[in-house]
Structure 1
Amino acid sequence: MNGVPLSRPMVLTGRYVQLERLRQEHAEGLAAAAARDRSSYAFTTVPDGLDGARAYIDLAMSKERAGRAVPFAVRRLSDDTVVGSTSLLDLDVFTWPRVAGDTGPVPDDEHPPTVAEIGSTWYAADAQRTPVNTECKLLLLALVLDTWRGLRVTLKTDARNARSRAAIERLGAQFEGVRRAHTPATDGGVRDTAYYSIVAAEWPDVRTALERRLER
């Protein structure tokens, strides 16, 4: 397969951000980013302090080793500062015929993911409402839908998180519905989850719209 490998460190670089495979050397940067202002993290799992950042990275890397996730640190290029994290999750390779309950082979360089989720995303307060999120999503969507020739990208959030839902909708993702009583919430309750998606047929228009937003 040509393109970005799954088995070696990958770096995705745009005009505003660079996505780097998340590693322990990012811990101090993540801790500093998360500490600047935590008021927007009510519905989001964000590390707190250096020990919290190290544990956060350990957990993300354990999911990576299982072969179903690729976590990234987000570096803002204008000041070479780590400003958050995002991940590709629930990576799956479609095979036919598909046996009920079969999750498919673990993705690798020869069998790139057919579907993925963009999630576990958070940014420092001073990176929010800037081109950072738009370009992060553009880079990840291009990886899945162009380089890997994937079919679908899922995005989801706590149904109560109006700010996150609005950001997802601005990307051009299609709302699919709410999965009720879906998972434990970060505030100790039970979360309803709002689901969105972008499929391959929609990607050219979505990509054009995102590129135009970054040109403003």
Structure 2
Amino acid sequence: MLTPITIRGNLVCLEPMTMDHVHDLCAAASEDRSTYHLTKVPDGVDDTKRYIEGALVAYSQGQELPFVVRHLETGRIVGTTRFLDLDVFSSLPTGASTGPTPSDATPPTVAEIGSTWYAASAQRTGVNTECKLLLLTHAFEKWGSIRVTLKTDARNNRSRTAIERLGAKFEGIRRAHVPASDGGIRDSAYYSILAAEWPVVRANLEEKLERD
């Protein structure tokens, strides 16, 4: 299993998500919900408890590594993000369908960054840029991952623009992929960053943070 980690930047600190974060995360989600119609964001204390419980179950199964985002200047929790869809590539015995569970000894070969949302006050600031810089740096430079995926509802132009500004490459649309947060079935827009592309992406993010 991967050990929960804290990743600290200049603007934010990514802390391992725990049940102790219920009320702070609920408060962040309650500021202004007008931008959440295409994003799964918990609403109310009970929903936030279920949200965190689900993330912790996925962590215990080796599927995810969830964080809350703490704004360093104010000390407030302003959102959440996580690694998910973690996979280790290895030589598999005949008949095996999966590799070993990701752990500190066998870190993920590929990963996804997702389930990201921020309080209204943290949107359109440098928070998301630094969060992505911290997570991508960890994936490519600590784990040695070869690919990081990002995806969003294909209708979510705001999210797609943010992903594209990171320097991720558009891969295509997966049709009728998962239930949509606003009802119905969503198409998902897929993007990725490869290890070979990381130096350019990192320089772009660092420059963007300086401008912000």
Q: Structure 2-normalised TM-score?
A: 0.96
Tell me the alpha carbon deviations over residues 177-213 of structure 1, each in whole angstroms, 9 at most, x when there is no partner.
0011111111111100000000000000000110111
Q: Where does residue 90 of structure 2 map in the other structure?
A: 95
Coordinate RMSD, CA, aligned: 1.4
Mapped contact 2:28–2:78 kept (Cα < 8 A)? yes
In the alignment, the residues of structure 2 paired with residue 69 and residue 99 of structure 1 have an alpha-carbon distance, to the nearest angstrom, of: 27
Determine which of 194, 197, 203 is the counterpart of 1:199.
194
Q: Where does residue 174 of structure 1 map in the other structure?
A: 169
Mapped contact 2:92–2:98 kept (Cα < 8 A)? no
Q: Runs of at least 4 residues of structure 1 off by over 4 A?
A: 97-101
In the alignment, the residues of structure 2 paired with residue 197 and residue 16 of structure 1 have an alpha-carbon distance, to the nearest angstrom, of: 25
Tell me the alpha carbon deviations over residues 74-95 of structure 1, each in whole angstroms, 9 at most, x when there is no partner.
0011100000100100100000
Identity %: 59
In the alignment, the residues of structure 2 paired with residue 98 and residue 53 of structure 1 have an alpha-carbon distance, to the nearest angstrom, of: 41
Matched, 1:190 2:204: no
Q: Give the CA deviation at 1:102.
A: 1.8
1:28-177 alignment runs, 5 A limit: 28-96=23-91, 102-177=97-172
Q: Where does residue 25 of structure 1 map in the other structure?
A: 20
Unaligned stretches of 5+ residues in structure 2: none
In the alignment, the residues of structure 2 paired with residue 75 and residue 212 of structure 1 have an alpha-carbon distance, to the nearest angstrom, of: 22
Q: Where does residue 6 of structure 1 map in the other structure?
A: 2
Q: Structure 1-normalised TM-score?
A: 0.95
In the alignment, the residues of structure 1 paired with residue 20 and residue 137 of structure 2 have an alpha-carbon distance, to the nearest angstrom, of: 26
Tell me the alpha carbon deviations over residues 124-168 of structure 1, each in whole angstroms, 9 at most, x when there is no partner.
001001000000000100111110000000000000000000000
